[in-house]
Chain A
Amino acid sequence: MLQRTSCVDNINIKIVSFASTVQLGDSCIINGLSTALAVQREIEVFYGNEGNLSSYRIFSEPIPFLPITEPFTYSRQNPNPLIKVNKIDIIGISSSSLLHVGNSRNVSMEARIKHIRQLQPTPRNNEGAEEQGQK
Chain B
Amino acid sequence: MIAEFGFGILVVSLIVTVYSGIAAVYGVLNKSAGLVESARRAQLLTFPLLTLSSIVLIYLLTNNRFEVSFVYEVTSRSMPTYLQVTAWWGGQAGSLLFWSWLLAVFTSAVTLRKWDRDIEFLPWVIVVSAITLAFFLGMIVFFENPFTRFWLVDGNVVPSMFAPSATATVFTPQDGQGLNPLLRHPGMIIHPPMLYLGFVAYVVPFAFAIAALITGRTDDRWTRITRRWSLWAWLFLTLGLVLGGRWAYDVLGWGGYWGWDPVEIAAFMPWLTGTALLHSTMIQEKRGMLKHWNMILVILTYALVVFGTFLTRSGVLSSVHSFANSPIGPFFMGFVTLTLVSSIALLIKRWPELQSENEMKSMLSREALFLLNNLLFMSILVICFWGVIYPLISELFTGQKVTVGPPYYERATGPLFAGLLFLMAVAPLSAWGHSTLQTLGRAIWKSTLAAAVVTIFLTITYTQNIYALVGFFLVALVLFTTGHEFWRGASARQKSQGENFFAALTRLMGRNRRRYGGYIIHISMALMAIGILGIEIFQKETQGTLAEGESLNIANYTVTYRELASWNSPGEGVNYTRSVVDIYENGVYLGQLAPRIDYYYDAEQNMTIPGQRSTFRDDLYILLVDWQPVSSIGATFKIYVNPLVNWLWIGSIVFLFGIIFAAWPEKDPAEVSVRRKSARDNRQASAAD
| A and B co-occur in one complex | no
Residues of B within 8 A of A (CB): none
Residues of A within 8 A of B (CB): none
